Amino acid sequence: METATYEYPVALGLAYILLAGCVIRAIFVCFGLPASVGVMLSGFIFQHFFQNDLFFARDELQGLSFFLVLLIAGLEIRSKDLQGHIFVMALLPASFELLGIAVYAHYVLEYTPVEGMVLGSVLVAMGDGLVIPKMKEFSQTFSDHPLPRLVFAWAPLEASFALTAFGVLTGLASPAHQAPTPLGTILLANLLRLAATLVLGFVLGCVSSWFIASRQKPILQRLFHDPDTEGGKTEGFLILISVALIALSLGKGESGSEVVPMGFCPGSMFQSELLVIITASVFANRCCDAYQSPKIVSDINTVVGQVWVFGQVFLFSMLGSKMTLDILPELKSLGPVMVCGLLARVVGVTAGVLLTMRSRGRTCNQVPADIGFCFLCTLPRATIQGALGAEPLKQHFFHIGYGNNSVVTNFTFTAARLYVLCYSVIGMILLNSFGPMLLRSTEKEETQRRLDSTDSEAASESALLAESPSAEDELSQQGSSTPQLEKVASRSASSVASGESHWQDQGGMLHTFESKNSTWRPSCEVLKGYKTTCRATASKQRPPGLLAEKVFKPEHIHFKVPERSTMQRLLRPRGRHAEGRLHTVKTPQGEIPLVLSSNMKPGQEETYHFGPDPDFLIRADPAPHERPMTFQLRTAGKLQTIKVIFPPRVREVEIVPDAVMVKVPDGAKPGAALVLKHPNDNLWLRTQVPQKVPATGFVAVALPSLRYQPKSEEGFNCGIGDLCREICTELDEALEVFASFLPFQEDTGADGMPRA
């Protein structure tokens, strides 16, 4: 199918790419589908009315967007990551798949070994442009899991291996533009290319790190901003991205017009993609180790993450714009190639996981899930296939000494396009659906166990609430939304959520694309209930003190709001937080007094939560599954562990303790000892009468189990709906009061019509 291009303003085409990509991404995320596939769909739609200038520039747009992926990967890779098992996983599975495709092409399709190897080198590499951002997202959710980090470092190395293999095979494939080259010369040229890339990347990384880290020296201080300011952060990013673009350019150029040619052999002196990764990686390592300035890398990551917001939309849109459905019938001939390649890939992944099991610190029980996850990560294909698929056809491979050159090059081009179409979509859906499941099954033991066990370890998502000398009254002054560093109040001291989770993405926008995740780390805010709920101690013998009159379990009570007299309406307290009147409701436990709020309309069915106020408000990234969380609260020198199961698909939740509602005896003085029987165990509980007893006479007493659970949302309304209800109630009340003071009322008959 031909792409239709039209002449209209470029700005309009850019607006479509950004807006359509954003909207379709949101729809896909809402239904739990990969966001990248949604943006590809927007690009696929765009090819039916492509803006002419954008059509001719789409290869450059895709290349520059992919450049950001390489830069991100380089900034994240540290020297300690480059261990032996990384190279085994980067080379072994890809080699198995390449050989599997080549063997099938040689024995079934009757290709020559070189033709089969060229086909395999084009199809073999995982789509690092798709996989690297996904691994970054997984590293946020599963911060302690080693597999996302493994694949993150493995993906660019596998892409470099595929590019190197294709470069070696290019010399053996007899392109029409170059004379036959001896195999020894080709191998020497590729070894020299690899060595030159490593050396130049090291030099560029060292120079850029020295220059950016030295901006506080007197010579450069007059020219540049302070690195700690926003201007300094932006300058650091601009310098690094300029150096990285130079590195990218040095390895570019069509055959015969390379920027830095090899000379004695066709091709460029440098491999551009690998050069960008090495430059960024050396820069990050030198800043952190040699100059002790990890904040520079963190600040640049922040800016790169913000630029990546646009880059990811353009990358996936341009990939989608190159997809066509008219090649789907070719699946009949390509299907066996895919099957053979996948079977060989499974064997390679299995061998790699088993060989590196001990060096990665994994156990035999974790091997099946590791194999499954690593295999799923290799399914998305797009970047290398899109870059190399048309090269055999454009360079007229197999020009000399091969009989079916046109058939092989056309099949290679079609196979690359089908791989992009099928594997990018299906691979991302499978990885998005089953990847988290496999990671959860092999998490560390302390992150697996339910946190309702008293001896469970800290979960992977945790934060520390440290003691602060601030005053108690900060509770009323603090805001309701404090996503990172927030002030919260306790009974004896205010607390500050200090320290950042070690996995927190400083890039800001890097991992938010494939989900509704924000950059929040899990945070815990202390609410009013932590002060108003009484804490009890347990003992086997009855302690001295007043015996509680009644002990009820918390429940939601359904009742009908009684009518109010005119005098009650006039004298009732006004205001959103004013206490209402008391009303007694009969329940199976007994008579329970309730406080009717001002927005309860007489005659309306209501639900009242008779139970403790929430102790804490927990905020975290929404996820499709429930997650265990542990928080630590230090007050008055004591450390309390708060354990809760965070519900799925919510951004914040209020949690309440395991508690009972206790009736305080009449005449009990504040501070007096109050005793009661434990509702479930043969124990006595002892607490103190609070300084202020609610109008109902009941106080909440937390059981000493220290267990917390999300507050039930039954009958709970909040936000705009609650505000509108209250406004309507106020208007109705005002009209009723006004009508009661009228000197006469119109007399109506049974039919509702006024009487004469």
Q: For the chain, what percentages of helix, strand and coil (3-state, to nearest 5) are there?
A: 50, 15, 35
Residue 56, in any domain of the structure: no
Radius of gyration of the chain (CA): 33
Residue 8 lies in a domain: no
Phi, psi of 645 (to 5 degrees): -100, 115
Residues 286 and 348 in one domain: yes
DSSP code string of 504-551: --TTSSTTSTTSS--SPPPEEEE-THHHHSEE-EEESSPPSSEEPS-E
Residue burial 386-400, b: 16+ Cβ < 10 Å; e: rest: bbbbebbbebbbbbe
Examine residue 515 and state whether it is found in any structural domain, yes or no: yes
Same domain, 639 and 732: no
Clarify whether residues 292 and 354 are in a common domain. yes
Residue 743's alpha-carbon distances to 25, 738, 740, 747, in angstroms, are 63, 11, 8, 13
Specify the pLDDT at position 455: 36
Res. 1 pLDDT band, cuts 50 70 90: low
Higher pLDDT, residue 594 or 197: 197
Element containing residue 3 per DSSP (H, E): none
Q: Which of 426, 444, 462 is the last residue of a domain?
A: 444
Q: Is 667 left (phi over 0), alpha (psi -120 to 50) or beta?
A: left
Give the chain's mean pLDDT.
76
Name the band, by pLDDT with cuts 50, 70 and 90, for residue 442: confident
417 and 464 in a single domain? The answer is: no
Mean pLDDT over 641-656 rounds to 80
pLDDT at 741: 55
- Is residue 469 domain-shared with residue 337, that is, in the same domain? no
Q: How far apart are CA 22 and CA 45, in angstroms?
A: 14
3-state SS, residue 581: coil
Summarize pLDDT for 705-744 with one digit per residue, the tens: 767 777 765 433 444 454 455 566 666 666 665 665 555 4
The whole-angstrom separation of Cα 645 and Cα 626 is 6
pLDDT of residue 501: 29
Q: For residue 549, tell me if it sits in a domain.
A: no
pLDDT at 148 over 80: yes
Asked whether residue 142 carries a pLDDT value surpassing 90, the answer given is no
What is the reported pLDDT for 718? 41
The number of beta carbons lying within 10 Å of the beta carbon of residue 578 is 10
Which pLDDT score is estimated for 342?
93
Q: Which is more confident, 634 or 385?
A: 385
pLDDT the model gives residue 467 = 31
Instruction: Tell whether 563 is covered by a domain.
Output: yes
Beta bridge partners of 538: 685
* DSSP letter assigned to residue 459: P
The DSSP bridge partners found for residue 675 are 547, 686
Residue-level pLDDT at 372 = 93
Residue 245 pLDDT more than 90? yes
**Measured distance between the N- and C-terminal CA atoms of the chain, rounded to whole angstroms:** 81
Domain with 659 in it: 451-539+613-706
Asked whether residue 243 falls in the same domain as residue 390, the answer is: yes
Domain assignment present for residue 18? The answer is no
What pLDDT is recorded for position 15?
93
Domain match, 177 and 117 both: yes
In 3D, which of 120, 177, 175, 171 has the Cα closest to residue 385? 120
Please determine, for residue 519, whether its predicted confidence score (pLDDT) is greater than 80: no
What's the CATH code of the domain at 198? 1.20.1530.20
Phi, psi (degrees; rounded to nearest 5) at 21: -60, -40
Question: What's the domain count of the chain?
Answer: 3
Residue written as tokens 């205001």? 575
- Whether the Cβ atoms of residue 686 and residue 539 lie closer than 8 Å to each other: yes
Residue 101 pLDDT: 94
> What is the percent of the chain with per-residue pLDDT over 70, rounded to a whole number?
75
Residue pointed to by tokens 């007694």: 584
Other CB atoms within 10 Å distance of the CB of residue 138: 24
Percentage, residues of the chain above pLDDT 90 = 13
Last residue of a domain, one of 427, 444, 461: 444
- Tell me, rounded to whole angstroms, the distance of Cα 391 from its chain centroid: 36
pLDDT score for 171: 75
The average pLDDT across 71-96 equals 86
435 with 461, same domain: the answer is no
Shared domain for 356 and 299, answered yes or no, is yes
Which of 134, 610, 188 has the alpha carbon at shortest distance from 376? Answer: 134
Residue 59 in domain: no
What's residue 452's pLDDT? 36
pLDDT attached to residue 605: 81
Task: Write down how long the chain is.
Answer: 756
pLDDT at 277 over 60: yes
Q: Point out the domain boundary residue: 413, 444, 475.
A: 444
Q: Judge if 577 and 657 occupy the same domain.
A: no
Strand partners, 463: 631
Cα diameter, the chain: 116
* Residue 364 CA, distance from chain mean position: 29
Same domain flag for 414 and 493: no
750 found inside a domain = no
- State the pLDDT at residue 647: 82
Residues 617 and 606 in one domain: no
SS3 398: coil
Choice between 92 and 573, residue whose per-residue pLDDT is larger: 92
> Amino acid identity, residue 479?
G
Mean pLDDT over 449-455 rounds to 36
| DSSP reduced 3-state for 496 | strand
Do residues 155 and 165 lie in contact, with contact meaning Cβ atoms separated by under 8 Å? no
Please report the pLDDT score of residue 477 as a whole number: 35
Q: How far is CA 45 from the centre of its chain?
A: 27
Let me know if 644 is exposed, middle or buried by CB neighbors in 10 A (0-12, 13-18, 19+).
buried
Give me the half-sphere count of Cα atoms (radius 13 Å) on the Cβ side of residue 374. 34
User: Of 253-267, 295-309, 422-436, which has the strongest mean pLDDT?
Assistant: 422-436
Q: How far apart are CA 662 and CA 697, in angstroms?
A: 8
